Structure 1
Amino acid sequence: MLRTTLVGVATLIALLFPAFSFAAEVDAHYRIVTGPERGTYIQIGQDLAKWVAPPAGIDLEVIPSKGSAENVQRMRFEPGVKLALVQSDVYQAYVDMANSGNEEAGTLIRPLRLIMPLYDEEIYFVVRNDSPMKNINEIKDKVISVGLIGSGTAQSATTLYRLMFGQPIPEQNAQHLSNEDALAALIVKKIDVAIIVAGQPAKLFTDMNPELLQQIRFLRVDPNAPETARAKQTYYPATIHVSSYPNWLKEDVPTWTVKAFLVTYDYNLRDTVGNLKRFADSLCENFDNLQEHGHPKWKQVKLELPGLGKGWQYYQPVERRLKACFAHRAAMQATKGPATAQGGAPAPRADGRPCSDQERLLLLCK
C-alpha cells in the first residue's frame, strides 16, 4: 500500500514539476524604459506590454524616464531593464563619442543592440502666440528650454541649434526644463522658445487646457533659409498635421523629425535569448493589433530591418526571427492580393577633466 502510494506521489510530481519548470522558464518579468508620462514613448511601451509581451510569456513593466540618454544608461546597468526606446540622434551621439575615444561612451553603447526602427518623432518649436518669430531659423540668441539633461529632446535641440548656427546655445540662454514646465515658463514669458520631441498626436498637447493651448503656436521650417540646409545634414523634414490637433491647428506645420528605435542588450543567456525570440515572434504576429489598437504612430512603423550605419548592430537572435516572420507575412499578403537637472557650468569628470556640453547631455559625467 505504502509502495503504491509513493509511486503515485512520484508520478504526480513527475507530471507537475515539468509544468512548473516550463512556466518558470517562460514567465519572465522584464522592464522597458520609455519617456515622460505625457510623451509618446510611454504609450508605445504600454502598447508593447499589452499586445506583445503577454503572448511571449513576458510580464513587461513600463517605466517612465527623462528620455533617451537616461534610457541608454538604465538599459546598460539597471537590473530587469531588458528593453529601451532611444532616439536615433542620441544613439548616434554615443557612437560618435565612443569613436572619438570616450571610453565611458564606448562602455555604454557597444554592447547595445537594436531590435528594430519604429517611427519618426516630430520636433516641436513652441512659442507664444504674440511672439514675432515665425520660422525655426529665428531662434538664435533666444532663451530656450532644450529639455531635461538625459532626455532625447536635449540632444535634438542642442544638435539642431549647433547645425543651424554653427555654435552651441549660449549657456545663459539654455534652460533644462521638463516639457510641462517649459510650456508653463513659455506662457508666463520666462523663456522665448520651448523645444519638445514627441510623436504626434502628443498627449502633452491633446491633454492641455484649451485656453492655455490658444496662447501658444509652433514655428515652421523655412525651406529657403540657409539654416534649414545645414539642419538637413542630420534631420529629416516632417509635417505636424491639423488632423493630429483638429481643435487647435488651422494649418499643417513643416518641422523636423528624428527616428525612434527599440533597443536591447547583446544577451547570451539561454533563457533571456529565448524570451526575446518569443517577444520578436509576438511583435511580428501581433503587429496588426498594434496598428489597430495602439498609438497612431504604429501605423507609420514598417516591418523591415534597413541597413545600419557604422557602430550600429541589430540583436542577431531577434534579427533572424524578425526577418523570417516579415518574409512570411509578406508572402501571405502577396497570396491574398492587395488589401530634472538645471543648467550651469560643466561639472568636472572623475578624472578631473572638465565635462563638455555633449558629455553632460549624454550623462557621461559623474
Structure 2
Amino acid sequence: MLKTTLAGLAALIALLFATLAVAAEADAHYKIVTGPERGTYIQIGQDLSKWVAQPAGIDLEVMPSKGSAENVQRMRFEPGVKLALVQSDVYQAYVDMANSGNEEASTTIRPLRLIMPLYNEEIYFVVRNDSPMKSINEIKDKTISVGLIGSGTAQSATTLYRLMFGQAIPEQNAQHLSNEDALAALIVKKIDVAIIVAGQPAKLFTDMKPELLQQIRFLHVDPNAPETARARQTYFPATIHVSSYPDWLKEDVPTWTVKAFLVTYDYNLRDTVVNLKHFADSLCENFDNLQEHGHPKWKQVKLELPDLGKGWQYYQPVKERLKMCFAHRAAMSAAAATPEHAATPPKSNDRPCSDEARLLLLCGK
C-alpha cells in the first residue's frame, strides 16, 4: 500500500514538473527586430514567428525598425531582443570599424553571433520615368535619397557610391528619407534618385497604385562601365525580374545585391540557450513550411552554414543543432531518392565622429 502511494506521489510530482516545464517554455517571450513596415525583413520576421518560433514554444514579437544598423544596436542593447535581421555590408562595416580601433563598434559587434545566412536583397535605384538617366553609374552628383540613418539602405547606398566614384556623396546631395517618403519626393521632383534595399517582390512596389508606378522606373547596371567593376569589389550582380512585378516591368533589370543574415547574441544563460536550440531545431524541421507558405525569398535560402570571414562567428549552440539537423535532412533526402540504400538515422571616445560611424549609430554614445 505504501509503495503504491509513493509511486502515485512520484508520478504526480513528475507530472507537476513536466507541466511546469511546458509552462516555462511557453513563457519565453522574445523579440526580433526587422525593418520598415512594408519591407521584406518584417515579412521574414513574421514568417519566423509563425512557422518557427511558435512550434518551438516561443512567443516571438516582430518589431519594425529603420533597418540593419538600428537592428545591430537594438540586438546588442535592448532588453528582450534575441534575434535581428542584418545586411552583410552593415555587419562588415561594424567589424571593420572595430578592427580599426573604434571602441563603440567593438563593444557593439564583438558579442553578436550569426545563426545563418538567409537570402540576397536587391538594391533598387529608382528614378522618374522622364529621367535622362539609364544606368546606375550616371547617379554621380545627383540629389539622392540614401535611406534613413540607421538603415541598411543608407549603408549600402553610401558604400556603393564611394566604391563607384571614389568619394562620398556630397552632403548637400544626400537625403535621409524613408522608402515611402523617398518615392513621394522623387515623383514631385524634389530628388533625382531613390536608393532602396528590399527583397523582391517588395511590398513597397506591389502595394503602389498603378498610376504612381507608371511615373517611376529602375536604373540598370552597365556591365561595361568602370564604376561597375569597382562596385563588384563588395556587391554581387542580381536581377530584378519581370515575374516579381508582372503588371509593371516590361523587362528584367540588372542590379546589385546584398546578403541578409539572421543574428543573435552569444548567450550563455541556460534557459535562453535551451530556447534558441529549440528555435534552431524548429527552423530546420519547419523549413519546408517557410518555403511553401512564407515570403518568396525563402525559396532562395539554403540549409547550409558556409565559412565566414574574419570577425564573423556563428552562435555555437545553434550551429551544432543546425548542422545535425541539416545532415539528417540530407540523409533522409538521399534515402528517398535512392530507397535501395537505407539511410542511417560601450565606452565613448573623444575622436571626431565620421560619416560612417554616424550611419552605424555609433555617435553620441
User: TM range, normalised to the smaller chain?
Assistant: over 0.9
Instruction: Find out whether 1:178 has 2:178 as its counterpart.
Output: yes
Instruction: Please give the per-residue CA displacement for 1:286-331, whole angstroms capped at 9, x wherever unaligned.
Output: 0000000000000000000000000000000000100110011111
Does the 8 A contact of 2:104 with 2:348 survive in 1? no
In 2, the alpha carbon distance for the partners of 1:269 and 1:81 equals: 15
In 2, the alpha carbon distance for the partners of 1:147 and 1:49 equals: 27
Aligned to 1:65: 65
In 1, the alpha carbon distance for the partners of 2:316 and 2:63 equals: 25
The equivalent position to 1:355 in structure 2, one of 331, 345, 353, is 353
Instruction: Please give the per-residue CA displacement for 1:47-93, whole angstroms capped at 9, x wherever unaligned.
Output: 00000001111000000000000000000011110000000000000
In 2, the alpha carbon distance for the partners of 1:13 and 1:154 equals: 58
In 2, the alpha carbon distance for the partners of 1:161 and 1:360 equals: 17
Q: Secondary structure at the match of 1:115?
A: strand
1:266–1:350 CA distance, 2 compared to 1 (3 A): closer
Q: Percent identity?
A: 85
Write the letter of the residue equivalent to 1:25.
Answer: A
Instruction: Please give the per-residue CA displacement for 1:85-131, whole angstroms capped at 9, x wherever unaligned.
Output: 00000000000000000011000001000000000000000000000
Aligned to 2:344: none
Structure 2 stretches lacking a partner, 5+ long: 339-346
Write the letter of the residue equivalent to 1:354.
Answer: P
Aligned to 1:187: 187
Aligned to 1:333: 333
In 2, the alpha carbon distance for the partners of 1:302 and 1:11 equals: 46
Instruction: Find out whether 1:217 has 2:228 as its counterpart.
Output: no
In 2, the alpha carbon distance for the partners of 1:234 and 1:285 equals: 33
Q: How many residue pairs align between the two structures?
A: 351
Does the 8 A contact of 1:25 with 1:271 survive in 2? no
Aligned to 2:18: 19
Q: Secondary structure at the match of 1:363?
A: coil
Does the 8 A contact of 2:103 with 2:348 survive in 1? no
Alpha-carbon shift at residue 337 of structure 1 (Å)? 1.4
Does the 8 A contact of 2:187 with 2:215 survive in 1? yes
Q: Secondary structure at the match of 2:247?
A: coil
In 2, the alpha carbon distance for the partners of 1:118 and 1:66 equals: 19
Q: Secondary structure at the match of 2:114?
A: strand
Q: Secondary structure at the match of 2:233?
A: coil
Alpha-carbon shift at residue 354 of structure 1 (Å)? 2.6
Q: Secondary structure at the match of 1:281?
A: helix
Alpha-carbon shift at residue 199 of structure 1 (Å)? 0.0
In 2, the alpha carbon distance for the partners of 1:228 and 1:43 equals: 31
In 2, the alpha carbon distance for the partners of 1:351 and 1:313 equals: 26
Does the 8 A contact of 2:85 with 2:262 survive in 1? yes
Q: Secondary structure at the match of 1:84?
A: strand
In 1, the alpha carbon distance for the partners of 2:315 and 2:352 equals: 35
Aligned to 1:52: 52
Aligned to 1:88: 88
Instruction: Find out whether 1:123 has 2:129 as its counterpart.
Output: no
Structure-1-length-normalised TM-score: 0.93
Aligned to 2:296: 296
Alpha-carbon shift at residue 352 of structure 1 (Å)? 4.7
Divergent runs of 4+, >4 A: 9-13, 349-352
Instruction: Find out whether 1:161 has 2:161 as its counterpart.
Output: yes
Write the letter of the residue equivalent to 1:200.
Answer: Q
Instruction: Please give the per-residue CA displacement for 1:327-350, whole angstroms capped at 9, x wherever unaligned.
Output: 111111111118xxxxxxxxxx96
Aligned to 2:107: 107
User: What does 1:134-283 align with in structure 2 at a 5 Å threshold?
Assistant: 134-283=134-283
Instruction: Find out whether 1:30 has 2:35 as its counterpart.
Output: no
Q: RMSD across aligned C-alpha pairs, in angstroms?
A: 1.8
Deviates most, 25-34 or 153-162: 25-34
Alpha-carbon shift at residue 10 of structure 1 (Å)? 7.2
Instruction: Please give the per-residue CA displacement for 1:206-246, whole angstroms capped at 9, x wherever unaligned.
Output: 00011001000000000000000000000000000000000
Write the letter of the residue equivalent to 2:56.
Answer: A
In 2, the alpha carbon distance for the partners of 1:65 and 1:80 equals: 15
In 2, the alpha carbon distance for the partners of 1:76 and 1:175 equals: 27
In 1, the alpha carbon distance for the partners of 2:317 and 2:14 equals: 32
Structure 1 stretches lacking a partner, 5+ long: 1-5, 339-348
Does the 8 A contact of 1:158 with 1:168 survive in 2? yes
In 2, the alpha carbon distance for the partners of 1:352 and 1:307 equals: 36
Does the 8 A contact of 1:73 with 1:108 survive in 2? yes
In 1, the alpha carbon distance for the partners of 2:136 and 2:130 equals: 15
Q: Secondary structure at the match of 1:53?
A: helix
